[in-house]
Structure 1
Amino acid sequence: MNQTRPGKNDMLNDIVEENAHAIGQLIELLTHLPNNLYRQSFGQRGRHAIGKHVRHIIDHYSALLSATASPQGLLDYENRDRDQSLETDCRAGANQLSAILHSLRRRFVEHHSAELAMLHTSDEQGQVIATSVDRELVFLASHTIHHMAIIGMLAEQAGVEISDEFGVHPSTLRHLQRQQRPMARSA
């Protein structure tokens, strides 16, 4: 059986759609979340808030979009806006995520240079590292889902019902589906 390998643009579109799916789930949650819960502090020291995690996700996508806006752009995840309004206003967070979703689909639907330079700082020493748009989108999908798992846990602690797939990585969902197939056949 011959399997055709998807083209570069098809693979990039799949990665973009994986990000879009996660962002869409987060937007859906935010449309039903009360603003006071969005900014409520959790944890013994009060350091955790849904809004802080959402703002953090937004900052990372914004860094990639900024770096890919020009041919010589430099990706820098440390130099983030940290806009407080995105931490405290649930609608502002949802609106910014919607804009990011639109930008991702628009920017990466067409052929885009795969090469990207990233500034990495370690021990106050900055160094430029070669990376790619594909690699960074894969990272952002995992990063987003990781933070969504925390957001889901915080929301559930406050009594909000969360879907079974919220904050679960697609690889885990595929694994669970494979496990259920034998059970479905034996039933």
Structure 2
Amino acid sequence: MSNTQDTMYFETRVPLKEIMRVNPTTIEAEATVAKAAAHMCRDEVGSCIVLSGNIPTGIVTEQDINCKVVAKDLKPSSVYVREIMSTPLITIETEQTVGEAAQMMIKHRVRRLPVVEGGNVTGIVTVRDLLSVANELNELMSDLIVINRDESFDMGVCDRCGHMSDNLMRVDSMLLCEDCQEEERLR
């Protein structure tokens, strides 16, 4: 943890290889959209990385199929993946971090990043993957705060009366001001 300008930041450098899904679903550019949809259903995923002769060239997602095929009332078995895929393919290297992946997703406005090593796709990371890591870190931080919390606090809002106080104290899992502490003692 570092403290910069009175704001606490939790620093983490989780490598992508720790959270990425390996062996992502792939499809050839010359395959039909129907085949891509079947692959996504089989693997229970929302995208296929598009290959042109083993070289990753694009990605096709459920949204691509819905907006570019279904919404236009086209027949999925008559449309080729290369016609609807998103390209160029935005990728990230395996040695990069979760934070760097999040920054790339924001910058490029994408929800999935194929993870590459030496030009070959080795995995994929999604917004959902990043959120699951964030949720786990938040839960851990919350637990750390609870176990390291002192019984006396400087300033805050009283849990009982809602007034600001510069002398809160924990009483039966509530933070109480001096007046409410006294009332609690008298009970």
* Higher share of residues assigned strand: 2
Higher RCO, 1 vs 2 (CA within 8 Å, ≥6 residues apart):
1
Which structure has the bigger radius of gyration?
Answer: 2
Same fold (TM over 0.5): no
When normalised by structure 1's length, the TM-score is 0.27
